[in-house]
Structure 1
Amino acid sequence: MASGTAPSGGSPPGTLLHSLVRTKPVDDIVAEGGQGEGGELKRSMSLLQLTLFSVGATLGTGIFVVLGEAVPLAGPAVTLAFVLAAVTALFSALSYAELAGTIPVSGSSYSYAYATLGELVAWVCGWCLLLEYAVSVSAVAVGWGSYLNEFFDKAFGFTLPAAVSGSPGSDGGWINLPAVAVVAIAASLLLRGTSESAVANMIMVFLKIGVLVFFCAVAATAFKSGNMSPFVPMGWAGVSAAGSKVFFSYIGFDAASTAGEEAKNPKRDLPLAIILSLVIVTLVYVAVGLAAVGAMSWRRFALSGSEASLAKVLDESTGMSWPSIVLSFGAVVAIASVVLTVMYGQTRILFAMSRDGLVPPVFQKVSRRASVPVANTLIVASFIAVLAALVPLGKLVDATSIGTLFAFALVSAGVIVLRRTRPEMPRSFRTPFYPVTPLLGIGFCVYLMVGLGGVTWLVFLAWAAVGLVAYFAYGRRHSRLAKPPELRKESP
């Protein structure tokens, strides 16, 4: 393994500034791929599995609830809003594709930032992703319990008692056992091995896409051309507002990048998986949006409630209850898939941070039997389960989106930095229209971040402040780059 660090702005080694801006050489990052303490991650994921991992992380609760919020803003032109959001996401996706093919490791945007922008920026990026992943998957697990109850109610006429299906603070809630159950199921799959998790995710993704195709087919039987006119009733300002609303239903397309050390052919497959997953999700979103507004007047969406919007379309289209039962089942499957893939991503980012010495070594210990980080997975699952079972998440869920946008912006910036510092480096995918594409990626992310509310920014800044304390108390002193070159281990 190479022993030196990349230039760090000319600051002398050993100084505070040097430690904050030191970068980890790309060659070192790639050379460490798959290595953990006690074992190695296994390269077992194909292009199809990688693509469906990103689809599984993206195609979740968003499509089941977002139409009820977006259609009143844009009317039938909600389909254009999905395309607008997809184009915005594409700028970041292209940057992810270039760096994923160049630096195919588990750390995703954290590792890309470490190679290009320095240790402190990488730490803040990784720290924000920990909040975004943990809180978002906890919220998704809570939502899974709600959809499970809805499915039980429609299919069998009963619901779980409020005391064991709601967190403290909700009506009669004491503990959310369904949320704990779905986290435990996801953890058990992850502990069995990456290939087993990938197969389970493939089955769930095909099921939920099948349910959404079923929705489109049923809604198409009630399609009325009059519902599509006027197509843009609120003007392009409405389309733009709806685009901002639905953008967050695209978050998750980068999930494949966290599997860089378990992909069979990462340099070829990671860029393809990221782009293909974005295309697949966009086609599904546009088809569902078109079918929904064609079957039910866009004005009625504001009355039906966001969480019931798709079910309301089926109820009005058929006059029967069984189609909405099928849809509820699809929502249960969709959310379970998100829990699995997002938990996987968080464990792999912690794995990469631990290997760099920035978090305790327990997170990089790999089981020789299953070739997965067992302790890491158990710790993450336990934390998420407690959070989902006992903590009313409230607006904290919305605040996690800013961490994702921050990571997206850093990845686009990383493409620019690496093109300047390592122009000769082989790249299996090159972002087209450079540097316009990454600059637009940064611009759109900053624009969306500025538009977020004050509470969101307060949570983001407070979490970042806690992260800085953790970095100076532990990460900076234990960083592998802080050790003299001759004392660094040749392998983690």
Structure 2
Amino acid sequence: MSLVSKMFRKESLDNYMDQDSNLKRTMGAWDLIAMGVGTVIGAGIFILPGTVAATTAGPGIIFSFIVATIVCSLSAMCYAEFSSSMPVAGSAYSYGNVVFGEIVGWVLGWALVLEYTLSVATVAVGWSAYFQTFLGGFGIHIPKALSGFYDPSKGTYVNLFAILIVLLISFILTRGTKSSTRLNNIIVVIKVLIIILFLVVGAFYVKPSNWNPLLPFGTAGIFHGASAVFFAYLGFDCVSSAASEVKNPKKNMPIGILGTLFICTILYVLVSLVLTGMVHYKELNVADPVSFALQLVNQNAVAGIIAVGALAGMFTMMLTMIYGGSRLLYSMGRDGLLPRHLHKVNHNNVPHHSVLIVTIVIAVMSGFVSLDKLASLVNIGTLIAFIVISLGILPLRKRNDIPNQGFQVPWYPYLPIISAALSFLIATQLPLDTVLTALVWFALGLVLYFSYGMRHSTMNKNE
């Protein structure tokens, strides 16, 4: 077999279904929605509506979220069709392997490794900072040496709380999908209740005059704002990584993915509406606009509760993304592209080796490395997956061996093509240094694939 033929050999869906049978199907539609909301609604809901309104969109930020939702919804529908047709672990990685071939699947998997690890590491650092501030309110202060990444010149050596929260979440995940899902559901409910508390309290202090002018930056501000808030939705795709552990995936996967976007859009729009109604948009360019708005109206107690909501939001995001990352490594180990021991599961039917590797990488990055310049790489990894999965609907529909009795993207083939084009358009707005750094990352991935993955692929056995 030639090199090119090996690179584009396609995996069998039936083979994936057989190998993933060692994972228990315990999750329902509401579990998936809670997972998605837990990921998408993080601390950003208390920050983005204010800062983007102040700098880019004004009160028209509500329209920016709607535009961003439309773009994400197109990609979400493509993910929903794939997960309904192919209820296997690995999300975009597995879909690419079956529809396009091994090399495309590998590139998608390598892109998602970037998304999962960097996003969790970045949020872990944010969670640590928020938690230290929270403890400071009670007069508890930890030594400076344990408060930040390794930088002896500033007196910091390790971000202790960032490492501890990652270890705690990984421990929870090794206890089994059912127990970790139950905990995630509880925390997501608490987080949503805290958001509703802000909406109810804040509504009494809304001044309609603060919404005038509605579009101070013009209609262009809506679209600039949409590109800024688009990244608030990144992470909903990790819901599809749970497909192999979902009951009745043909029905529940589309509900989970599209339901996540629907609920998150309502929450983002309502928070934006109340926030810009409470405070004039020009005053909202602060690190914590929601708390700032509540303090202006002397609701300090509610502002303190919002801090708990931010911690809960970051916790559920990390829980879901570490889950998704471990299932991705599990899938790559299943196919032999990474060491096979990543495919093993423990007595709780959890791929514990994959969880361990993800934990070590994220803990080291969040505890010792400055992530300021790396965080934007999360976006490019996700957008690459969006583009390929959107275009993947075209060959998927032509596969007679993959019948789909579940969800299908409407207005085929136009919507998948539009989805890919819009994601590409947003990708072109990323900084040049981000693109160049991503190219280095993907070059390393290709070196790993050709030196290890191709030679150890399980598909070699079928040749």
TM-score for both structures, normalised by structure 2: 0.97
Q: Conserved in 2, the CA contact under 8 Å of 1:150 and 1:328? A: no
Task: Answer yes or no: is the 8 Å Cα contact 2:49–2:271 preserved in 1.
Answer: no
Shift of 1:29: 2.6
Give the Cα–Cα distance (whole angstroms) in 1 for the partners of residues 18 and 83 of structure 2.
15
Q: Look up the SS of the partner of 2:148 in the other structure.
A: coil
User: Over residues 100-147 of structure 1, what are the superposed CA-to-partner deviations in whole Å (9 max), with x where a residue is unaligned?
Assistant: 000011110001111111111110110111111111100110000111
Distance in 1, matches of 2:377 and 2:239, equals: 23
Report deviation, 1:423: 8.3
| Ranges of 4+ aligned residues in structure 1 off by more than 6 Å | none
CA distance in 1, matches of 2:154, 2:62: 36
Q: Is the 8 A contact 2:50 2:272 kept in 1?
A: no
State the partner residue of 2:307. 328
CA contact (8 A) 1:55 1:252 kept: no
Contact residue 167 and residue 176 of structure 1 kept, 8 A: yes
Structure 2 residue aligned with 1:265: 248
Equivalences for residues 154-165 of structure 1 within 5 A: 154=137, 156-165=138-147
What whole-Å deviation, never above 9, does each CA across 1:207-259 have from its counterpart, x for those lacking one?
A: 11111111111211110010111111111100100000000000111222111
Looking at structure 1, the residues matched to 405 and 129 of structure 2 have their Cα atoms a distance apart, in angstroms, of: 45
Partner of 2:95: 112
Which residue of structure 2 lines up, in the alignment, with residue 76 of structure 1? Answer: 59
Which residue identity is paired with 1:379? I
Find 1:409's aligned residue among 371, 384, 387: 387
Match of 1:312 among 250, 270, 292: 292
CA distance in 2, matches of 1:153, 1:222: 29
Matched, 1:23 2:1: no
Deviation for aligned residue 1:65 = 2.1
Please list the CA deviations of residues 385-418 of structure 1 after superposition, one character each: whole Å capped at 9, or x if unmatched: 1111000111111122100000111111111111
Which residue of 2 is the match for residue 291 of structure 1? Answer: 274
- 3-state secondary structure, aligned to 2:244: coil
| C-alpha distance 27-424 of structure 1, shift in aligned 2 (>3 A) | closer
Partner of 1:377: 355
Partner of 2:418: 440
CA distance in 1, matches of 2:81, 2:418: 15
- Which among 166, 172, 176 is matched to residue 148 of structure 2? 166
Partner SS state of residue 81, structure 2: helix
How much has 1:458 moved relative to structure 2?
Answer: 1.0
Deviates more, 1:97-106 or 1:58-67: 58-67
Aligned to 2:327: 348
Cα pair 1:259 1:345 within 8 Å, conserved: yes
Aligned residue for 2:398, secondary structure, equals helix
Q: Is the 8 A contact 1:98 1:427 kept in 2?
A: no
CA contact (8 A) 2:83 2:240 kept: yes
Partner of 1:53: 35
Partner AA of 2:217 in structure 1: M
Q: 1:437 to 1:423 in 2, by over 3 A?
A: farther
**C-alpha contact (below 8 Å) 1:127/1:467 kept by paired residues:** yes
Which runs of no fewer than 5 residues in structure 1 stay unpaired?
1-13, 35-39, 486-492
- Mapping of residues 227-266 of structure 1, within 5 Å: 227-266=210-249
Post-superposition shift, 1:160? 3.1
> Aligned partners of 1:167, 1:424: CA distance in 2, in Å?
48
TM-fit CA distance, 1:191: 0.6
Tell me how far apart the structure 2 counterparts of residues 335 and 160 of structure 1 sit (CA, whole Å). Answer: 21
Q: Distance in 2 between matches of 1:17 and 1:63?
A: 46
Correspondences of 1:452-467 after superposition (within 5 Å):
452-467=430-445
The residue correspondences of 1:193-204 to structure 2 (distance < 5 A) are 193-204=176-187
Partner deviation per Cα, 1:415-464 (whole Å, 9 max, x = no partner): 11111233872231110111111111100111111110111101110000
Q: Find the aligned partners of 1:288 and 1:41 in 2 and give their Cα distance.
A: 38
Q: Unaligned regions of 5+ residues in structure 2, if any? A: none
- CA offset digits 1:332-366 (Å, max 9, x no partner): 11111111110000000111111111100111011
* Equivalent position of 2:340 in the other structure: 361
Q: What is the match of residue 89 of structure 1?
A: 72
Aligned residue in 2 for 1:8: none
Instruction: For residue 247 of structure 1, give the secondary structure of its aligned residue in structure 2.
Output: helix
Residue in structure 1 matched with residue 263 of structure 2 by the alignment: 280
RMSD: 1.4
| Aligned-residue offset at 1:382 | 1.5
Give distance in 2, aligned partners of 1:414 and 1:158: 52
Aligned match of 1:42: 24
Cα deviation for residue 292 of structure 1 reads 0.3
**When the two structures are aligned, how many residues end up with a matched partner?**
461
Give the TM-score of the pair, scaled to structure 1. 0.91
> How big is each residue's C-alpha offset from its partner over 1:256-299, in whole Å with a ceiling of 9 and x where there is no partner?
21111111211211111000011011111011111100100011
Give the 5 Å matches for 1:205-216: 205-216=188-199
Structure 1 residues 285 and 183, CA gap change in structure 2 (3 angstroms): same
The 10-residue stretch of structure 1 (104-113 or 214-223) with the greater mean CA deviation from structure 2: 214-223
Which amino acid letter does the alignment assign opposite residue 42 of structure 1? K
Go from structure 1 to structure 2 and tell me whether the alpha carbon gap of 1:191 and 1:63 turns closer, same or farther (over 3 Å shift): same
Contact 2:43 2:311 in 1 (8 A): no
Counterpart secondary structure, 2:430: coil
CA distance in structure 1 between the partners assigned to 2:85 and 2:273 by the alignment:
38
Match of 2:216, SS?
coil
Q: In structure 1, how many angstroms separate the alpha carbons of the residues matched to 2:391 and 2:20?
A: 23
Residues 76 and 228, structure 1, Cα contact 8 Å, conserved in 2: yes
Q: Which moved more, 1:164-173 or 1:379-388?
A: 164-173
| Aligned-residue offset at 1:43 | 1.1
Give the Cα–Cα distance (whole angstroms) in 2 for the partners of residues 398 and 191 of structure 1: 29
2:345 is aligned with what amino acid? V
Q: In 2 relative to 1, CA 325–373 (structure 1 residues): closer, same or farther, beyond 3 Å?
A: same
Secondary structure at 2:375's aligned position in 1? helix
